[in-house]
Amino acid sequence: MTTYYNIAFEEKQYRSVATKAAKYYQESGKSGVLPLVTADVPDAYEYRYTNLLDPYASSAGSDWSATGRKGSAISNFLDIDLFTQQMNLFFDLNEINKFGSSLIADKRAAIVEKWAIDVDNAQFHGPKNQNGIQLAEGLLGQVTCLANQTSATGFMVGTKGEIWLVLQKAIDDIPFALREEGPDMILYINEALYSAASKPDRIYQDRVEWDFIYEHFIGPKAVHGRKIGQVIITNKINAEATDSTNGNNANTVDTLGTHGRFLLIVPDPRWVGRIVSRGFSLVGEEQGALGISQIYGWKGRGYFFNGDCANYTEGLTFA
């Protein structure tokens, strides 16, 4: 068996799979813009997040004193469970003999790309086993939905200006200290909500409502602390039944075209991150009489270390 192994599976073959998955995740993944937090130990089961409580540093007075309180900083920590995302590939002997110079990543392109998509989805909706059972909450389930933020009590944004209002309240609800200290915010918006806000006939304050949003929160007139640095349109923020949400459409699947969602994040690694203890790579392989079985993996988790840095709206509707 070593003959076909050495011919078909040179080092570049293994790299091709990991590279293809990582490239697809980088180009198409929606969670890739969040801060990367690398675990110290490869394949770690847990990541220990350490933060400092408000330190004591100095005090004022008229004269110097030899008995002043010593500066101090107390640390706190949180242990976060990490999860694998495993892809199994098998190549039989007859198939390997036909490879020639082809890369295994190209031969299994659809599977490799789906692996990258699964990793991306797990950041938002949590890791799921092969039976679809959620093993832990993703980013959407870790924050409490912002509910009843329209001008009238409820979740309807059919009236012009209501989408702007909900976004403004989502920004205001994140403490200004976090918005001021951190980088410009990231706004995830699903297609239904963006489509409604950008309709030509949805005129608010003499312009299309999305243009009004852009001017105040996104464009060059927006000021740091209230500025959205990146807008990502994606339906990956649509709630699934396993996401622990509240408000309208809580704990059910969002209906495409019916429910609108905002996810607003201050992307500072002190408060949110993609924890990774294994990047896209080969875990191991087993060579049998009729082929080779391979296991590729990624291990980590999307996590809010401080949920105050984000807001996720309830399921907004338009009529």
Q: Are residues 126 and 234 in the same domain?
A: no
Per-residue pLDDT tens for 39-56?
Answer: 999 999 999 998 877 788
Evaluate whether residue 259 is within a structural domain: yes
pLDDT in tens, 165-188: 999 999 999 999 999 999 999 999
Amino acid letter, residue 119: V
Q: Are residues 105 and 31 in the same domain?
A: yes
**Cβ proximity of 47 and 80 under 8 Å:** yes
| Residue 70 forms part of a structural domain | no
CB atoms within 10 A of CB 49: 17
For 202-226, the DSSP string reads -EETTEEHHHHHIIIIISTT--TTS
Q: Distance between CA atoms of 292 and 90, rounded to whole angstroms? A: 6
Distance from CA of residue 136 to its chain's centroid? 14
247 & 228 share domain: yes
The beta-strand segments (E) located in 148-209 are 185-189, 203-204, 207-208
Number of domains in the chain: 2
Residue 154 lies in a domain: yes
Residue numbers of the domain that contains 187: 139-270+307-313
For residue 4, pLDDT over 70 is answered with no
Q: Are both 11 and 129 inside the same structural domain?
A: yes
Q: Give the separation between CA 132 and CA 145, rounded to whole angstroms.
A: 24
The arithmetic mean of pLDDT across residues 123-150, rounded, is: 96
Joined together, the tokens standing for residue 90 give 């098998």
Does residue 241 or residue 75 have the better pLDDT?
A: 241
Specify if 57 maps to a domain.
Answer: no
Tell whether the model's pLDDT for residue 272 goes beyond 60.
Answer: yes
Give the global pTM: 0.90
Which of 3-12, 87-96, 260-269 has the weakest average pLDDT?
Answer: 3-12
Which of 126, 123, 149 lies closest to 248, judged by CA? 149
Confidence (pLDDT) at 9: 65
Q: Is 191 a member of any domain?
A: yes
- Does 65 score more than 90 pLDDT? no
Residues 210 and 143 in one domain: yes
pLDDT at 6 over 50: no
**Cα dihedral across residues 246, 31, 213, 169: positive or negative:** positive
Q: Are residues 207 and 234 in the same domain?
A: yes
> What's the mean pLDDT in 190-195?
98
Q: If you average pLDDT over every residue of the chain, what do you get?
A: 92
Nearest to 299 by CA among 318, 316, 280: 280
Site of tokens 């949110």? 272
**Lowest pLDDT segment from 14-18, 74-78, 140-144:** 74-78
Q: What is the average per-residue pLDDT within 286-290? A: 84
Pairing of β 228-233 and β 291-304: unpaired
- In this structure, the answer to whether residues 297 and 236 fall within a common structural domain is no
Specify whether 169 is located in the same domain as 288.
no
Q: What is the mean pLDDT of residues 138-148?
A: 96
CATH number for the domain spanning 253: value is 3.30.2320.10
Query: What pLDDT, on the 0 to 100 scale, is given for residue 155?
Result: 95
- 130 with 6, same domain: the answer is yes
Contacts of 159 (CB under 8 A, 6+ apart): 150, 151
Between strands 75-81 and 46-52, the pairing is: antiparallel
Contact between 159 and 151 (Cβ < 8 Å): yes
Confidence at residue 68, expressed as pLDDT on a 0 to 100 scale: 85
Helix axes 11-28, 109-125, angle to 10 degrees: 50
Higher pLDDT, 8 or 300: 300
Segment 250-275 mean pLDDT:
97
Mean pLDDT of 203-211: 96
Query: Are 234 and 164 contained in the same domain?
Result: yes
pLDDT(230) > 50: yes
Whether 189 and 125 share a structural domain? no
pLDDT attached to residue 8? 46
Query: In the structure, what pLDDT confidence band is assigned to residue 290 with cuts at 50, 70 and 90?
Result: confident
| Residues 277, 250 share a domain | no
How large is the average pLDDT for residues 90-114? 81
